[in-house]
Copies of this chain bind each other. A is one copy, B any other.
Amino acid sequence: MPKIEINPGIAPFPKPIVLVGAMVNNRPNFNTIAWFNRLNGRPNIWGVAMGKKKYTLEGIRQSRKFSINFPTVDIVDRVDFCGIYSGREVDKSETFDVFFGELGDVPMVKECPVTAECSVYEIVELPSTSLLLGEVKHAYVDEHIITDGTPDLRKINPFVFVRPGDQYWALGKSVGNAWSIGKTLKE
């Protein structure tokens, strides 16, 4: 198969989708983000890359805390809504049932079966985004999605963001056990 070179501005892989929550001007606000992942194990640090002018980021810079909410397919339309419109133009404080946890004024989404409160560990300024590193302080779950004390993706119905085409996709089936199927290749 001959390889061809193309424009390097691509990002051709499935991305997790989260709702980033914060109080902004005394109101809960949520922004949909696909540039997210875990970046450190202990402590548990998650990274979120956000456009520098995001309304949600304004609140996070002040409070130094935010929430991460993992949505399911049931609320995909509201998740998309929070990615299209800025909190500067629409009031998202009633888009979801909001609850608060240990850190106090960090809004979380009740409809999400797993949510977490984070404190800002560091903000790394990149050319067009601010890379928010958050240390996970508290995590909250719906009891029915727990297996052996931890959230079970097999009981959740998550989705990922896929481009081009710009679609949300549900997950399919297992194609192998990690830390396992590769072992047969070692002589």
Contacts and interface: CB of A to CB of B under 8 A. Distances in A.
A163 interface: yes
Contact of A3 (B110, B129, B136): B110
Interface in A53-78: 70, 73, 76-78
A142 to B, nearest CB: 5
A61 to B, nearest CB: 18
Interface in A114-146: 114-116, 122, 124, 126-129, 131, 133, 136-144, 146
B3 A40 contact: no
A126 B169 contact: no
A160 B171 contact: yes
A148 B163 CA distance: 12
B180 A80 contact: yes
A111 to B, nearest CB: 9
B35 A38 contact: yes
Interface of A: 1-16, 18, 34-47, 49, 70, 73, 76-85, 90, 95, 99, 101-102, 110, 114-116, 122, 124, 126-129, 131, 133, 136-144, 146-154, 156, 158-186
Given A3-B141, A10-B150, A12-B70, 13 more contacts: A4-B146, A5-B139, A6-B139, A6-B141, A9-B41, A11-B44, A16-B37, A126-B133, A154-B165, A162-B171, A163-B178, A168-B176, A170-B174
